[in-house]
């Protein structure tokens, strides 16, 4: 289930979106939090297969498919939810690398995930146009997990946050550049709205 939409050539099941939605519906009938956790992990594997360089796919996707590593997608910040363009996490050029600084909140799986797609602002003041998507490895220096949020339910969703303090990312770890990342994120939110509604039903 960690590779529902991951193409078969990368070891996944290669299903369509409609199949993912149906699987999510069945899993959510038993445990909504668990279903969201699995779907969010599979979404990261799927995104890496689509947007990452082959070496990054080899490094991360097999470990996600076996469930050794969990994935998260991190847009939201303590002060920025619906207004995603207002995020304050920055990505600053430093030689041939990017330095990421900021805090994320309300991130599914963040209690244990360490393969994260993180959105950051490369040009403060530019709104959505300056936002880029980075692959962040939670086992590297500069990543600090925060305590999970205390929810009445569902605990298996593992929701919390993390801090990036001088986290260093390579050029290749920029999954989507400014100009593309914001639009791509909104497009995946449209998909999420669909399967979350199905899961709630």
Per-residue burial over 56-89, b = 16 or more CB atoms within 10 Å of its CB, e = otherwise = bbeebbebbbeeebbbbbbbbbeebeeebeebeb
Closest approach of ligand FAD to the CB of residue 55, in Å:
26
Minimum CB separation of residue 96 from ligand FAD in Å reads: 28
Whose Cβ is closer to ligand FAD: residue 79's or residue 93's?
79
**Which C-beta is closer to ligand FAD: that of 57 or that of 106?**
106
Q: Residue 129, class by beta-carbon neighbours within 10 Å (0-12 exposed, 13-18 middle, 19+ buried)?
A: middle
Kindly list the residues in this chain that would bind ligand FAD in the complex (CB under 6 A): 40, 72-76, 81-82, 106-108, 157, 159
Minimum distance from residue 124 beta carbon to ligand FAD (Å): 19
* Alpha carbon distance 182, 175 (integer Å): 12
Between 53 and 112, name the residue whose CB sits nearer to ligand FAD: 112
**Residue 34 or 106 with smaller CB distance to ligand FAD:** 106
């Amino acid at each position: 289930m960690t590779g529902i939409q991951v193409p078969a050539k990368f070891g996944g099941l290669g299903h369509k979106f409609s199949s993912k939605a149906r699987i999510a519906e069945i899993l959510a009938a038993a445990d909504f939090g668990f279903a969201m956790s699995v779907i969010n992990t599979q979404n990261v594997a799927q995104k890496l297969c689509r947007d990452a360089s082959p070496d990054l796919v080899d490094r991360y996707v097999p470990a996600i498919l076996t469930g050794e590593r969990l994935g998260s997608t991190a847009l939201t910040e303590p002060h920025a939810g619906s207004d995603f363009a207002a995020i304050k996490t920055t990505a600053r050029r430093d030689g041939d690398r990017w330095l990421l600084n900021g805090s994320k909140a309300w991130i599914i799986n963040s209690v244990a995930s360490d393969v994260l797609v993180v959105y950051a602002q490369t040009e403060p003041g530019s709104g959505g146009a300056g936002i880029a998507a980075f692959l962040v490895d939670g086992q590297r220096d500069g990543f600090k997990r925060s305590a999970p949020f205390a929810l009445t339910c569902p605990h298996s969703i593992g929701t919390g946050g993390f801090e990036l303090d001088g986290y260093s990312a390579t050029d290749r770890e920029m999954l989507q550049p400014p100009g593309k990342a914001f639009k791509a994120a909104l497009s995946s939110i449209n998909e999420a709205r669909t399967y979350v509604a199905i899961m709630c039903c």
